């Protein structure tokens, strides 16, 4: 039998202490469904410490990310206010194991969303969109994991940075996205790399979280998933995501 709570404590402690762990699947056999139960229990521990859920994130929504990580099923995780990094802010690597940055697009919901919904219904609930960066940080050694492992580890959720919110009427189907490290373009992609259109990430988020008994709430943020492969962070680096039409978002790593 899988001890959900014991495994939740292991991933939560690893995240809290920024200490890497072996893959849970090395010693335990558990399903992806169990992985989601572990994720929910681990997130509950954050809430018990006073954090608040502020949204969800989608993962493996682009070919580039699937190829980088060798997994091809869409996944979703939970975001809390404790993970928010201010636009233009600075992070300290001591709070992370081996963080990476991904260029993303974020949706702000003005109304709750319960799946299944159409793209039109999903967009009607969107109050604003923004250029965003996700800071992922697998708690597993060498950033290596099975699908069930990464789901249990809240899909590597660790930080997210949101740029200025924009009018949601922008056509998001094919916006150029450039991830820069110290002003140099290191990943170039398009919003269309995210499931063909990032709104599909939103409909998937509504469907999957509703299936888990957890609808998307007004005021929540939905991160649509990395449009390109993720980039490892090093001391002193300045990271920026520039999205055509939407503007840019940035943060720095303390030297
Ligand atoms: C899992 C998280 C994937 C994305 O945007 O595809 C993700 C990982 O790669 O560690 O956040
Ligand atoms: Mg991501």
Nearest bound ligand to the CA of residue 74? 1
Nearest bound ligand to the CA of residue 69? 1
- Residue 59 CB-density burial (10 A; 0-12 exposed, 13-18 middle, 19+ buried): buried
Return the pLDDT at 209: 94
**Nearest CA, atom 4, ligand 1:** 59
Return the pLDDT at 68: 97
214: left (phi over 0), alpha (psi -120 to 50) or beta: beta
Computed over every residue of the chain, the mean pLDDT equals 97
Atom of ligand 1 nearest to the CA of 68: 9
CA dist 95 and 117 (Å) reads 37
d(CA 91, ligand 1 centre) in Å: 19
Per-residue b or e along 19-37, where b marks 16 or more CB atoms closer than 10 Å to that residue's CB: eebebbbeebebeeebbbb
CA dist 160 and 224 (Å) reads 12
The 10s digit of each residue's pLDDT in 61-81 is: 999 999 999 999 999 999 999
**Nearest CA, atom 10, ligand 1:** 156
Atom of ligand 1 nearest to the CA of 143: 10
Radius of gyration (C-alpha) of the chain in whole angstroms: 17
Q: Could you give the percent of the chain with pLDDT greater than 90?
A: 99
From first to last of its 255 residues, the chain has per-residue pLDDT tens of 689 999 999 999 999 999 999 999 999 999 999 999 999 999 999 999 999 999 999 999 999 999 999 999 999 999 999 999 999 999 999 999 999 999 999 999 999 999 999 999 999 999 999 999 999 999 999 999 999 999 999 999 999 999 999 999 999 999 999 999 999 999 999 999 999 999 999 999 999 999 999 999 999 999 999 999 999 999 999 999 999 999 999 999 999
**Nearest CA, atom 9, ligand 1:** 69
**Nearest CA, atom 8, ligand 1:** 156
CA dist 149 and 43 (Å) reads 15
d(CA 51, ligand 2 centre) in Å: 20
Contact predicate 28/1, CB 8 Å: no
Return the pLDDT at 159: 98
Return the pLDDT at 46: 98
Q: Which of 246, 247, 222, 244 is nearest to 110 (CA)?
A: 222
d(CA 223, ligand 2 centre) in Å: 7
């Amino acid at each position: 039998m899988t001890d959900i709570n014991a495994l939740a404590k292991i991933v939560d402690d690893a995240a809290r202490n920024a200490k890497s762990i072996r893959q849970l699947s090395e010693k335990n056999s558990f399903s992806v469904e169990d992985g989601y139960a572990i994720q929910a229990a681990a997130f509950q521990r954050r809430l018990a410490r006073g954090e608040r859920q502020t949204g969800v994130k989608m993962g493996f929504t682009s070919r580039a990310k699937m190829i980088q990580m060798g997994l091809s099923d869409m996944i979703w995780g939970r975001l809390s206010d404790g993970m928010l990094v201010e636009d233009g802010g600075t992070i300290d690597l001591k709070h992370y194991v081996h963080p990476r940055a991904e260029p993303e697009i974020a949706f702000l919901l003005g109304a709750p969303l319960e799946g299944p919904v159409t793209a039109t219904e999903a967009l009607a609930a969107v109050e604003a969109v923004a250029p965003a960066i996700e800071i992922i940080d697998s708690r597993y050694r060498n950033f290596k994991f099975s699908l069930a492992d990464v789901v249990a580890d809240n899909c590597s959720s660790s930080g997210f940075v949101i740029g200025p919110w924009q009018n949601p009427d922008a056509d998001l189907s094919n916006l150029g996205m450039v991830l820069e490290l110290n002003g140099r373009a290191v990943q170039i992609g398009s919003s269309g790399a995210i499931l063909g259109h990032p709104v599909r990430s939103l409909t998937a988020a509504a469907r999957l979280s509703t299936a888990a008994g957890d609808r998307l709430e007004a005021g929540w943020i939905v991160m649509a998933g990395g449009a390109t492969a993720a980039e490892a962070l090093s001391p002193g680096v300045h990271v920026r995501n520039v999205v055509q039409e939407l503007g840019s978002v940035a943060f720095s790593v303390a030297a």
